[in-house]
């Protein structure tokens, strides 16, 4: 099946969501390092940016940087990626810098990105969240429409698979 590409830019009340730029490497490295899985360098973040650009070029999905409309620094990202899903049934992902958490930014951006993903013709979007990640689980709850499909376990613990389905209407 062929899907329309997602737009290069999206907008919410508080953010312009744009594709990642090479100049985003420093703050992305900081964000990825806050995960606690090791230090991520700007060069490593550049590799991630290149990978997202390839995903966008090849499949029309990818990451959007949350750029505040007031000109402040980026707050994080929201994305539609393959992740644990597929190109046909991709995964919603979002992540914020620590100072941007707890303000509804992830919900606002994820709602916008999710709508754009369904507008491509996709009918099913996944979100996989570790059971301990209460803030991300709250985002899915606020978005509405997600249901738990199953749980799996890997070396890092339990992953809860959430799915949202939206049937598109054929012309």
Q: Is the pLDDT score of 43 beyond 60?
A: yes
Residue 131 included in any domain: no
Domain count, the chain: 1
User: CB within 8 A of 128, min separation 6: which ones?
Assistant: 83, 84, 91, 159, 160, 161, 162
Residue 160 included in any domain: no
Residue 158 included in any domain: no
Q: Which tens digits make up the pLDDT trace of 156-165?
A: 899 999 999 9
Q: Pick the residue with more confidence: 153 or 168?
A: 153
Q: Which tens digits make up the pLDDT trace of 109-139?
A: 999 999 999 999 999 999 999 999 999 999 9
Whose structure tokens read 């953010």?
15
- % residues pLDDT > 90 (the chain): 94
Residue 92 included in any domain: yes
* Cα–Cα distance for residue pair 42/24, rounded to 1 Å: 9
CATH number at residue 52: 3.40.630.30
pLDDT of the residue at 37: 85
Give the domain range for residue 13: 9-125
pLDDT category of residue 169 using cuts at 50, 70 and 90: low
The two three-digit tokens of residue 132, written as one number: 């301990």
Residue 38 included in any domain: yes
């Amino acid at each position: 099946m062929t899907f329309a590409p997602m737009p290069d830019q999206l907008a919410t009340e508080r953010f312009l969501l744009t594709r990642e730029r090479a100049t985003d490497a420093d703050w992305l490295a900081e964000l990825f390092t806050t995960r606690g899985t090791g230090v991520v360098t700007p060069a490593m973040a550049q590799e991630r940016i290149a990978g997202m650009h390839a995903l966008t070029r090849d499949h029309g999905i990818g990451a959007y940087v949350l750029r505040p409309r007031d000109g402040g620094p980026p707050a994080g990202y929201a994305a539609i990626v393959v992740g644990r899903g597929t190109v046909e049934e991709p995964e919603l992902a979002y992540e914020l810098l620590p100072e941007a958490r707890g303000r509804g930014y992830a919900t606002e951006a994820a709602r916008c990105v999710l709508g754009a993903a369904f507008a491509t013709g996709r009918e099913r979007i996944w979100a996989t969240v570790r059971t301990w990640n209460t803030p991300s689980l709250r985002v899915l709850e606020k978005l509405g429409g997600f249901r738990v499909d199953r749980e799996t376990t890997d070396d890092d613990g339990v992953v809860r698979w959430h799915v949202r389905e939206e049937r598109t209407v054929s012309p």
